[in-house]
Amino acid sequence: MTHPVHILLVDDDPAENLIMRGLMKKVSSIEIHLHYCETIDAALDFIKSGTPVAMVLMDNRLQPQCDFRETVPAMRQHGFIGPIGVISSSLADPYFQKFEEYGADFRIDKAELDPTAIEFILREYVTKS
């Protein structure tokens, strides 16, 4: 757990980047480097650039009109095989039940993301392997 963990946040609202950055700072057990992209195209370029990304946190809806059913398969088609978590404030939508079929690993509500949840997710998907 001594190596820093690189996480990529993809969210069209820059405010979420600030909130997430604050949250990640509160995780004391692991050193996290948070990278941020505003669009799916920028995220795909970032992955292609070769920066080692241990996990992607993907906002469900990105402007102009796509959701994880398009963005996650696009990440997979570009060869990203790390864990992808979908963040949303409306997990109740029925299509969320199929997140695994679209190549996502987990889903989490924005309101549920606290330092404990982030530590758990990193333990499950990053530091264990």
Partner 1 sequence: MANYQKNHRQYYFDSDLEKALNRVDFFRIFHTMTLRYGFDHFGILQLGNEGDACTLTNRLALHDLPSGLAEEYDKRHRFGDSIVFKSLHTSSIPSVWKSDDLHLGNGGNLLGQLGFDILMCVPVTGMNGARYAVLFLGDGEMMEQQAHFALCYDAICAFDYFYRLVLSNKAGLGLTPREREILRWISHGKTASEIALIVSVSEHTVNSHTATILKKLDVVNRTQMVAKAIREQIIQ
DSSP string, 44-87: HHHHHTT---SEEEEES-BTTTB-HHHHHHHHHHTT--S-EEEE
Q: In this complex, which beta carbon is closest to partner 1, that of residue 38 or of residue 80?
A: 80
Shortest distance (Å) from residue 41 CB to partner 1: 19
Shortest distance (Å) from residue 11 CB to partner 1: 19
The 59-98 site mask, x for binding partner 1 (CB under 8 A), equals --------------x--xx-x-xxxxx-----xx---xx-
Using CA atoms in the order 111, 67, 96, 57, what is the torsion angle rounded to 10 degrees?
-50
Shortest distance (Å) from residue 83 CB to partner 1: 5
Stretch that binds partner 1, among 8-16, 45-53, 59-67, 121-129 (CB under 8 A): 121-129
Stretch that binds partner 1, among 8-16, 45-53, 58-66, 107-115 (CB under 8 A): 107-115
Long-range contact pairs involving 21-24 (C-beta distance under 8 Å, separation at least 24): 23/113, 23/114, 23/115, 23/118, 24/118
